[in-house]
Chains A and B, each alone.
Chain A
Amino acid sequence: MSMIIDRRLNDRNKNATNRQRFIKRYKAQLRRSVADIVADRSITDMSRGGEVGIPVKDISEPRFRIGRGGDREMVHPGNKEFNTGDMIAKPKSGGGGGSGSGGEGQGDEGQDNFMFTLSKEEFMNLFFDDLELPRLARTVLGDSQQFTYRRAGYTPSGVPANLSVPRSVKNAMARRIALTAPLKRELEELIKSGGSAEEIEALEKRIERIPFLDEYDLRFRHRVKEPKPISRAVMFCLMDVSASMSEDKKDLAKRFYTLLYLFLSRKYEQVELVFIRHTSNAEEVDEHAFFHDPQTGGTVVMSALDLMIEIQQERYPPNTWNIYGAQVSDGDAFGSDPQRSAMRLSKDILPWCKYFAYVEVPDSPTTITPLAAAYSQIRESSFAMSTVMDRSDVYPVLRELFQKESV
């Protein structure tokens, strides 16, 4: 008799581990693929899964196989016109069986790339894997929204699920010993001294009446809620939107911030973002305006830094906040502005700023812009700068700036 089993409700994702292993193994290739995809995507469309490819030869598993060449015979079906002794010109590819069959050749050529689709989750993981905010301190007691539960001994009351059986039984045993010992001693003496049967019986009954387990023996595991120290961080996003920033450059800047934003909102729940854009004067704007509103004018970098300091002093004391800054500009600045900005940055901002990244989108990779020249004097280790020329640079630069520090 056959056994028929319904397995449809069983686990359907038996291969999840194998899939993860595969992705992990080819992380480097996949990341390249992911970076290419992101360079092509529109800004609003960043956080999606996507189709990636790996060169087939990279993932092939080698075996000893017999290759083409040498002498062999092959038997094929479907002969229509050949007779024994006929000669047929060899197909150019030197086809597998050398039979002149179209079919065999095709199978071998195949695709150059092993293509498959990453889920959004996998995509983002690959994308932001190994990125982190540098020097993040996890010491601040946050808004008391996050708690951990810690064991804190035993209590006499609680829900049945938390009942500690060993503790309760131990207590019961102690109580029984304490209560019965004197009675038993009395009983022993009574028997020795030849007390009456009634007295003995009464005493035995008293001993029996002592319950095996009593309510006040019960002990429950106790757990206390403790606020969890969290890392609160704020990222100041400073973007130059002056007239010299062409549409292309703005696109690069926005791409950088979009990725930064995705990275932060994905990896850190407690990161606040402050968006500052500046022309000749700076203003704090919301996310939507930052990414979408057109705005144009002259350039005073200093204004943005001043506004950053102002906001920081108002809202983000450095002893309870990890403060970060990122600035994108084409580097154009006039007169004393670049020098003064660099001074302001290194004197008044970097002392309380954990990390400040400057990304430049210059006209050509060779020119040294006034702002870059001034910033390059800054020696603090918490400052970093980099250049983006092309869409495909954005992601590598982000990686470079926020690379996880190796331990």
Chain B
Amino acid sequence: MTAAKMKNSVLSHGGDWDFELLQRYDKEIAVIAKEYGLDTYPNQIEVIASEQMLDAYASVGLPISYSHWSYGKEFIQNEEAYRRGMRGLAYELVINSDPCIAYLMEDNSMPMQALVIAHACYGHNSFFKGNYLFKQWTSADAIVDYMVFARKYIFDCEQRFGEQRVEETIDACHALMDHGVDRFHRPSPLSAEDELHRQHEREEHAWKQYDDIWRTLPQKAVDKAGAKKKKRNFPPEPQENLLYFIEKYSPTLEPWQREIVRIVRKLAQYFYPQGLTKVMNEGWATFWHYTLLNTMYDRGLVDDGFMFEILQSHTNVVMQPGFDHPAYSGINPYALGFAMMKDIRRICEEPDDEDRAWFPDIVDKDWREVLDFAMRNYKDESFIAQYLSPKLIREFHLFAIADQHKEDHLRVEAIHNEAGYREVRRLLSKQYNRDVLIPDIQIYRYEHMGDRSLTLRYNRLRDRPLTDDATEVLKHLSRLWGFTVTMEIYEEGSGVVDKVEVSPA
């Protein structure tokens, strides 16, 4: 390394930082990031104190959000844990917005600040800008404005209709938040201004259209004949976006409540890609802070002390304890993601025979192009299915276990050997499928000509039941719907096996 060192002067020594130094580090990192071809939104780096970090945590990482008790709960929880020393604070927090807002904590040392800048402002930032899911599902340039609108709107509702009613509505929406996303078609982009305008127009229209005289007209005989027509199912296709369906078709919601449903739905949609790209997103950001800072070191911009601190912190972040370790809590997305990104670079640069057999289309290619393509076009599930190499399976000592509820033993399905690589990879990839985490529940029938009851269907996979919470969620749903809500438990092959019915109180 020393041989490659150019005649650059070290930017700073020791841990102290000031704003001028931040500026210089950021400038150097930006230069290197550009050389590597990272495409980012402009950065807005905000230095905050630890209490402010606690605040930022609570509102799910958005710089602004509406008031709700659950954020208070989150805040209290974090504050307590932090105060008792049970948990440190994250070094950074970055928001998928344009400009990309990243928070730096004032207590961090200079090397840590540089790490965070590289990780968040160039790593995450370029991921937000490039990944197809973020491009399709989020509007980075509008989210902050939209949240300002949402906060104000909900505040106004509280003034007009009372905190209690607003809170009940939000509670119910939050319970259904995981089911507020259209997975299969692209949503319209956000704009706070349009939103406000559209909502005004709707109210105005309803108000102008009201005319009491229509009520007094006698019903036409034809109508009665028409009613005999064949009963058709509504909706014609099952609807997976529960919040959208409620917003559009709930027979009882008032206009302002529909707006709140919509706000929560938009929020759910904004967070949707993050849940699907945890491994990739963190892996990408970690890979880039590692690569960028090492390049700085190679160029003599930072000293050994700086690098020691970086490597220590980096090593902690990418640690993966084994399944029998007390600290184990599942696969660490930083560890897996970083290892995979680094592995892809290795396969491109120094492939061995195994890699040539497994990844014929990426060996000896320019690693930057391959990584960039992967970042843009995959989510965790497909990324793992595509790029997890046998070498990594061996390194992580991955093994798959099958749990059949009718058996009293667990069976080891596959381990890191020739026979097991593909199976381990397939099963690990499946683990990141959204359907494994979030149950597949769809609106099946709305008796819009009858008693207005709503029927949902839980497509149960392999006998996996819902938790007891489900009844509570149904209560929330029936509160929003205003009429009886039924959930059928449907199992492929055996049909509807069970039913839960909830009527509004």
Interface residues of A (CB under 8 A from B): 1-8, 10, 12-15, 17-25, 59-80, 82-90, 97-104, 107, 114-117
Contacts and interface: CB of A to CB of B under 8 A. Distances in A.
A71 B49 CA distance: 47
A223 B82 CA distance: 50
A98 B323 CA distance: 12
A67 B22 CA distance: 47
Contact of B411 (A5, A85, A101): A85
Contact of A15 (B46, B75, B179): B75
A4 B22 contact: yes
Given A14-B55, A18-B67, A107 B329 contact: yes
B396 interface: yes
B323 A99 contact: yes
A340 B465 CA distance: 73
Contact of A63 (B77, B178, B322, B324): B178
Contacts of B436: 66, 72
Q: Which of A12, A14, A85 has the most CB of B within 10 A?
A: A14
A24 to B, nearest CB: 8
A65 B76 contact: no
B101 to A, nearest CB: 9
A122 B420 CA distance: 59
Nearest to A101: B323
Contacts of A99: 323, 401, 403, 410
Nearest to A51: B80
B325 A79 contact: no
Contacts of A97: 401, 403
B315 interface: no
Interface string B358-396: 000000000000000000000000000000000000001
Interface in B409-433: 409-417, 419-420, 424, 427-428, 430-431
Closest 7 pairs between A and B when the two form their complex, measured CB to CB:
A78-B322, A98-B403, A22-B72, A70-B464, A18-B72, A103-B328, A62-B472
Contact of B416 (A24, A79, A88): A79
Given A71-B403, A74-B427, A103-B323, 9 more contacts: A19-B76, A21-B68, A64-B441, A66-B464, A77-B398, A87-B409, A87-B410, A98-B401, A115-B80
A78 B43 contact: no
Contacts of A8: 47-49, 52, 106
B252 interface: no
Interface of B: 19, 22-23, 26-27, 30, 42-49, 51-52, 54-55, 58-59, 67-73, 75-77, 79-80, 83, 99, 106, 121, 163, 167, 171, 174-179, 320-331, 396-405, 408-417, 419-420, 424, 427-428, 430-431, 436-439, 441, 458, 460-470, 472-473, 476
A269 B357 CA distance: 85
Given A4-B23, A18-B72, A73-B403, A103 B396 contact: no
Contact of A4 (B26, B73, B438): B26
Contact of B414 (A63, A65, A84, A87): A84
A153 to B, nearest CB: 33
A109 to B, nearest CB: 13
A103 B409 contact: no
Scoring B52, B408, B430 by chain A CB atoms within 10 A of each residue's CB, the highest score goes to B52
A20 B69 CA distance: 8
B71 A18 contact: yes
Given A18-B58, A84-B420, A62 B175 contact: yes
Contacts of A14: 52, 55, 59
Contacts of B322: 76-80
Contact of B466 (A23, A65, A75): A65
Given A5-B47, A7-B46, A25 B69 contact: yes
A80 B416 CA distance: 10
Given A4-B23, A8-B48, A61 B331 contact: no
Nearest to A26: B69
B465 A6 contact: no
Contacts of B72: 15, 17-23
Contacts of B408: 89-90
B398 to A, nearest CB: 6
Nearest to B47: A6
A23 B43 CA distance: 37
Residue of A63, A64, A74, A90 most packed against chain B (CB within 10 A):
A64
A17 B465 CA distance: 38
B185 to A, nearest CB: 22
A56 B401 CA distance: 32
B429 to A, nearest CB: 9
